[in-house]
Structure 1
Amino acid sequence: MAEIGAVYYGGKGQNVKNICSSDAVPGRIEQKLCQPCLSKDIQTEADVFCSTCDEFQCTECSNVHNTHAFLRNHKLVNVKEVKPKLVSFDMKGLDQCDQHQKVLEFFCEDENQLCCSTCAIVDHRKCNSVVEIQKIAGRYASASYQLKVKLQEVTEKGEKVVQCTKLSKEQLDQDVKEIPLTIRRMRDNVMKMFDDLEVSVPKDAESFKTETLDKLTRKQSNSEKLAAEATKSLETIDNVYQNGTPSQQFILEHRMKKQVDELSSNVDKECQRLETVTVSFNFDETLKLPPLPISDYVPGQLTLAYSVSEAVKPVAPVDPIFKLTKITSIDLKQAGDDMEEPLYTGLDFLSDGRLVAVDRFNMKCLIYNEKLEKVGSYQLSYRPQSVVAVSEEEVAITSDDRHFVVGTIDDTTPVRIVSQSGEEKDFRVDFPDKKYPIATSACTYIRNSDKVVLTDRYEHTVYIYDIRTDTRIVVKDDKIKQPGGVTVGPSNSILVCSIETDSIVQISQTGRVLSSYKLDMRFPRYVLVSRDKSIVTNACLGENRLQTFKITY
């Protein structure tokens, strides 16, 4: 089994290369951006911090302190001398363990649970990966947006329920009061009804007959014309095919096609509206009965019903559609010690924002900073296929004969899990009995909803498998042609490379295509998301590129 697209499912794996430590790789610093520039949607590294303005500034923006006299007493400090502020916030018990009333300090990645010190020792001592929260807090994508969306939905639905129940109570009281009045009105109107019946019903029936006869006459006339035109056209066709030249026959076919289609469409419409019209008047059977005691016969019916108002029907949640704005782009060229032109087949973000990539053709692992400046390069002894950042200092690199998690090549089980001990186990999903050769499929795992996403390049299809229910959604769309790399984006939507259309496509977990972003690179193959940023690379010899994008809603 060999890996196609690695997904970090839990644990550090066995094939971990400790190549990203502070001593081994230069360039890992916390970058602070100029806040005035950010307000203009420009990313510039800050050089100083103004404690009076309480903001980081670049050299150009900080020069305003020398221009205006009232700003000259502001204290400017070199950004490297600024120490991070620790802000105390009352969590009102949310940071306390429900069972032991201790502060939650640990997180069990195996069971996806928060732990206090007692939980970690008693309940999770056999788990493979229990880590300190403060060390991994920056690694996970923020879920605040999803939480706020759900809470907003709860608030709106709660308010709708309150409003609906108030209206229902008022309506119920009014309906009960109306019943006696309805009966009295009926008693007064029954006698008048029969007086009016003899006059109104025949009059209405006559009007209906006149109106209907007009419609039927027009329908008959239209159909006769259509039939006559069709007969005439048939005669013309027979004439030309018996006496005309091949050129005349060819011209006739093309000239008649539109006319025949129109005739066919019109006659189909008439056929769909065929009706048989009748007129009758019959009394309700109950009115033919002799008078009976009210206990035996009630000339009416009390209806008790529940209905759902349009205003309070549940509304399907709206998936946020985001845009990609290019930040940086570099061309991947053959370096002096490279054997071939680079081909990046694996990407991942480290927790401090740096990018780790593996070059399959030149057997290298490379590190880039946020400006896509190369800050580290490591020669490997094998051809790598993919890479996963396990922690700030460790990555796992997979190759054709070394694997960590998930994708397979030429195997009927395209996605698997590998434990820390090296044992393999399958997802409980009924995958199709199909083998995917290398570069024909990719996969990712959505942890929050326990779903596996699999692409089939030459079927132009994206599959979304629900592990909990063993069901799948099949996504086919004109925007998705030769799907390649796939990853989990903001709000747990799915981003997939559409190789043939040179674009990135956003898909919801329900399989709805939300948006498509056209790239200025050919054949995009691999895509990755980290917080509000995305990285894309392609596989086009002579035009290889690596690009970063800002994600906005």
Structure 2
Amino acid sequence: MDRCVQHGKELEVHCDDHQELCCSVCVALNHRLCSSIIHLPDLARGFLKTTEFKQLPAAVDKMRSRLDELKNDCMKDQASLKDSYKNIIAEIKALRKEINQILDELEKKTVKQLDNMMDDLEKSIKDDLETCVHMDDQLKTMIEKLQQITGKNKETNSYIGFRVCQSKLSEANSLVQEIRQKEGMKFKSDESVLPFLRNLNSLGTVENPNSISVYKAQSSSLYKVRIKEDKYKCHIAGICELYVGGKNDLYLYTTDGRLVKKIYEDKSKYITVCRCAVSPDGERIYVTNPTAFKLITLDTSGQVLSTVEDPDLKQPTGLCVSPGGHVFVCGCISNTVVQVDPQGRRKLATLARETDGMCLPQSVWFIEKTSTLIVGQEDEDNITVLKLC
């Protein structure tokens, strides 16, 4: 019988409310008010005959296969990274031939920048590879132990092993998605090198696509948008186009207005889908859930990848994603605009508050070229323009 990691007691019951396997101490401390506590032997009775249990080995095999593919990709990325490094060095050398000796010091700075990033990315790939190997070993060990369970408590122990294995599969799936999203490095040469040579600090910048800039507000301005024909105060509720959302659903349409499919649904509360936006690569869909105070990130099939909850994001409404992948969200009743990381896992910064003129913000748009944030607010005739830095 497996034991509780926190208390060392045997796992005895399953809590439906929290979807947890618990010991007696856990129940006494954390689950006294839960409505459904079921003893594991009762819950596991007949479990070995269920389709879900019988399909677990196949699910593990499929995940291990995905991990094998990911390990192979990681090893290919190591070779590709070195090729990228050589190619960038060649670009730097080619540019170097067109200019004079004043570039010697600039070249050293640029190559040093490249070397530092090379080290960081090589370490990142090495860490990813080690994590994949470790995850693969864990899944292999877990499924072997599960298939070797015997004795009078076989059903109960098999159920426990099944739940633990399912949790590990979920962790492995998150790992696969996280590593898949990473990219290699690129070099962007400065087109003004020759005419402005003496004013430069480097030959260019080596970019890491996995990093994201965190902004802060530099200034704020208010602009009236109400026109003479408007009979009532303006309710500025949107500043872009994307997927189509209902109160509880998210739909995919073609550009000519034809419904393709429903990709997400949440009927748990009155309004669970308020606004939506899409990442530049089209792989992530961001949805605001104002009644649950959450920003939800989905994949293109509608599976929830991550959620963000934060005191500065109460009743999230409007949101936008810039071409560079920066994500901005309005907190309506918290009177805030926050920046969230591209994976939709955490808040990076609170850019504007009530003291900056925020009053029930409903919509937001970011002009990346000028680092300008435009915010529309409920029942207001004005828009607020924030200059970021």
TM over 0.5: no
When normalised by structure 2's length, the TM-score is: 0.42
What TM-score, normalized by structure 1, do the two folds share? 0.30
Greater share of helix: 2
- Relative contact order (C-alpha < 8 Å, sep 6+): which is higher? 1
Which of these two proteins has the greater Rg computed from alpha carbons?
A: 1
